[in-house]
Amino acid sequence: MSAWARTKQWNTFTRIWHLFDATWQNPIDCAETIGLYLKGMYKPIYHPMSDCGDHVVVINTKKIAFPGQDWRWRAYYHHTGYAKGASYTRAWELHDKDPTLIFKKAVYSKLGNNLQRRYTMQRLHLFADEKVPEDIMKNITNQIRPIKIVPRTLDTYSQEEIKSFPKIFDYPKDYIIR
Amino acid sequence: MLLIVLPNLQEEVVALYSCSRKKYREYHRFFSPLLKQLKRRQIIAPPPINHRNTYLEWNYEAELYSFGKRLGEEFDNELLRQALMQRSYLKKLEEEQKRVGIEVSSNENVDNVCMIPKGEEILQNFTLLYLRHILPRFPEEGIQSIKDHLMSEETLSHVCFHIGASELILCEDFPVEKSTLNSTMKALIFALHESSGLERTSVFIRDFILTQIAELDINDLWNIENPIETLNTICRNEDVDLPEPRIVGDSGVNTILALYRVGLYINKKLIGLGSGESIKIAHEMAASDALRRLFGTAEHQLNIPFNLVLNPKIKSEPNLGVKDWCEKRVQERIKQTLSLNE
């Protein structure tokens, strides 16, 4: 194999490092997208038997969002293996214990039951906040677009922005705002 | 399937196999050990390979005639016979005649020894002519290495074997060795030249030998030792700034699977892009890519035509060497060759 062919192969099968910001994102929906990147399914060369998956670094897993009452009603099952060993943990309880665990379990279950699953999971790097070690940060060359647009909360608007915001109507002069 | 594997033990196996099939629904207990035994015997003493001429219905005259017809060429019968006659065969024949007591008649000019260098010359001239015509921008060093590949023993013996000449060659070695096939191919080319003329021979060479490069990357045949320095030399010839390397992209820098992509720029214009596991290798590959683009052998540029009919009598001038290569001179040369062919 010539040097040219070798580097072409190297370039084609290189592992790309992606960054994903989990702020205000539903982990169940994100898991599907992140799974595609972990398995390399977005590549034209993809084949289940070719090792072409990428790395994904997920930050801010502490800030994930569940719709409706999911924080209360979503339960994570665990069994110790002994009699009466079953336990059900609420999502909010689990999130208090480890803020990366809900995201991890979501991706793990979306990857499908096969022998490659645990090796694919090793390419997922989860961080509760924005603090990522510098050596990992240097590898990253791409950012995955968030699934949902992150809305701005009212407290992030400055006073000037609030004042210049277009109003639909003016209050009458004698109206008293309490 | 079994019978194909073990042709020498056909009858034995047929009897046992059919017996076991008739009497029982399943294979007999003895069947597996028997197969093992037969396989073992075959490994110890494989069946001999016989030359085709040991078969009953072998007709050398008819085979010679149909050889030319198969290729769609008109061979002179005597010349074809001579081209397929190796000296080793004649020597063996002489010895046998001496042993029996027959007086040996002189066998000069019956074998193909005198035909080989002449055929080689025809082959070389036309190969160079065609390569220089289809790759006018490729340096002469590269053209020579492609020619060397095409005229190597490996390529010529491969072609000679697959046009079906190996059974017709009269030689002592069996199975026929590569060197014999190689020399016979050259002799065949000369025989065709004498029978049907140079034009027909050039078409034969084009169709059977030049097409061997179709599946190869011709850049692999010529290894440029130092592409960066070579590119700099060409830039100096062109009188432009030396190319400036820049890192265009990278991924996984802190891992052992690091990838770097380097682009080469002249006046902010990309001339070559390369990738590799280190910056140095990526730089070299970028230079190599730039050279390919200049020489017209990059993947998107290379589409070698194998249907051109060139005048084989033209004496082709060598292409520019790497050290003299520049765009202006190449264009001049292309104009010259075009006017020659018209």
Q: What are phi and psi of B85, to 5 degrees?
A: -95, 115
Task: Give me Rg for the CA atoms of chain A.
Answer: 22
Chain B CB contacts of A3 under 8 Å are 281, 284-285, 288
- Pick from A7, A136, A138: CB nearest B285: A7
Cβ–Cβ gap A136/B254 under 8 Å: yes
pLDDT score for B1: 41
Distance of CA B9 to the CA centre of its chain: 38
DSSP, res A17 = E
Which parts of chain A register pLDDT below 70? none
Domains and CATH numbers, chain B: 2-44 (no CATH), 58-214 (1.10.1520.10), 220-295 (3.30.160.20)
Is B277–A5 a contact, with Cβ atoms under 8 angstroms apart? Answer: no
Q: How would you write the pLDDT of chain B (342 residues) with one tens digit per residue? A: 444 444 556 556 656 565 555 556 778 888 899 999 989 998 998 888 899 999 999 999 999 999 999 999 999 999 999 999 999 999 888 888 889 988 777 666 688 999 999 999 999 999 999 999 999 999 999 999 999 999 999 999 999 999 999 999 999 988 999 999 999 999 999 999 999 999 999 999 999 999 999 989 999 999 999 999 999 999 999 999 999 999 999 999 999 999 999 999 999 999 999 999 999 999 999 999 999 999 999 989 888 999 999 999 988 889 999 999 999 999 998 888 888 776
Q: What angle do CA B169, B175, B181 make, to 5 degrees?
A: 45
Q: Nearest CB to A139: which of B219, B252, B281?
A: B252
The first and second tokens of residue A57, run together, are: 């670094």
Amino acid at B247: I
Distance CA A55, CA A38 (A): 6
The Cα A101–Cα A61 span in angstroms is 9
Shortest Cα distance, chain B CAs vs residue A107, angstroms: 22
The shortest CB-CB distance from B254 to any of A2, A14, A138 is to A138
Considering the domain A3-68+98-146 in this protein, what is its CATH number?
A: 3.90.1180.10
Supply the mean pLDDT for chain A.
95
CA A51/CA B103 separation, integer angstroms = 74
- Chain A residues near residue B142 by CB distance under 8 angstroms: none
- CA separation for the pair A101, B23 (Å, rounded): 67
Please give, rounded to a whole number of angstroms, the shortest distance from the CA of A158 to a CA of chain B: 38
Query: What pLDDT, on the 0 to 100 scale, is given for residue B102?
Result: 84
Q: B189-215 burial, b if ≥16 CB within 10 A, otherwise e?
A: bbbbbbbbeeebbbbbbbebbbeebee
Question: Which residues does residue B190 pair with via DSSP β-bridges, in sequence order?
Answer: none
How open is the CA angle A62-A63-A64, to the nearest 5 degrees?
Answer: 100
SS (H, E, C) chain B: CHHHHCHHHHHHHHHHHHHHHHHCCCCCCCHHHHHHHHHHHHHHCCCCCCCHHHCCCCCHHHHHHHHHHHHCCCCCHHHHHHHCECHHHHHHHHHHHHHHCCCCCCCCCCCCCCHHHHHHHHHHHHHHHHHHHHCCCCCHHHHHHHHHHHCCHHHHHHHHHHCCCCCCCECCCCCCCHHHHHHHHHHHHHHHHHHHCHHHHHHHHHHHCHHHHCCCCHHHHCCCCCHHHHHHHHHHHHCCCCCEEEEEEEECCCCCCCEEEEEEEECCEEEEEEEECCHHHHHHHHHHHHHHHHHCCCCCCCCCCCCCCCCCCCCCCCCCCCCCCCHHHHHHHHHHHHHHHC
Q: Would the CA dihedral through B212, B213, B217, B222 be positive or negative?
A: positive
Nearest CA of chain A to the CA of B250: how many Å?
A: 7
Window 68-127 of B: residues touching A by CB (8 A cutoff) are none
User: Tell me, what's the ipTM?
Assistant: 0.83
Question: What is the model's pLDDT at position B19?
Answer: 56
Type of residue found at B213: I
Q: How many beta-carbon pairs under 8 angstroms link A with B?
A: 55
Residues present in chain A in total: 178
Q: Are A20 and A56 in contact (CB under 8 A)?
A: yes
What pLDDT, on a 0 to 100 scale, did the predictor assign at position B106?
A: 66
Q: Pick the residue from chain B with its C-alpha nearest to A55.
A: B252
The per-residue pLDDT for B14 is 53
Q: By the CB < 8 Å criterion, does B251 face chain A? A: yes
Considering only CB atoms, A14 lies closest to which of B217, B219, B257, namely B257
Inter-axis angle of helices B178-196 and B115-134, nearest 10:
80
Q: Return the closest-CA partner of residue B235 out of B318, B319, B322, B299.
A: B322
B66: nearest Cα among B204, B137, B210, B164: B164
Interfacial A residues in 54-73 facing B (CB < 8 Å)? 55
Q: Where are the domains of chain A?
A: 3-68+98-146
Nearest in space to A66 (alpha carbons), one of A43, A90, A83: A90
Q: Which residues in chain A are closer than 8 Å to B277, comparing Cβ atoms?
A: 7, 10
CB B148 within 8 A of CB B81: no
Q: Does A138 touch chain B (CB under 8 A)?
A: yes
Say what the pLDDT of residue A126 is. Answer: 98
Of A2, A7, A138, the CB nearest to B253: A138
Q: Report the distance separating Cα B198 and Cα B211, nearest Å.
A: 19
Nearest to B251 among A8, A17, A136 (CB): A17
Rounded to whole angstroms, how far apart are CA atoms B256 and A14? Answer: 11
Tell whether B282 is within 8 A of chain A (Cβ): yes
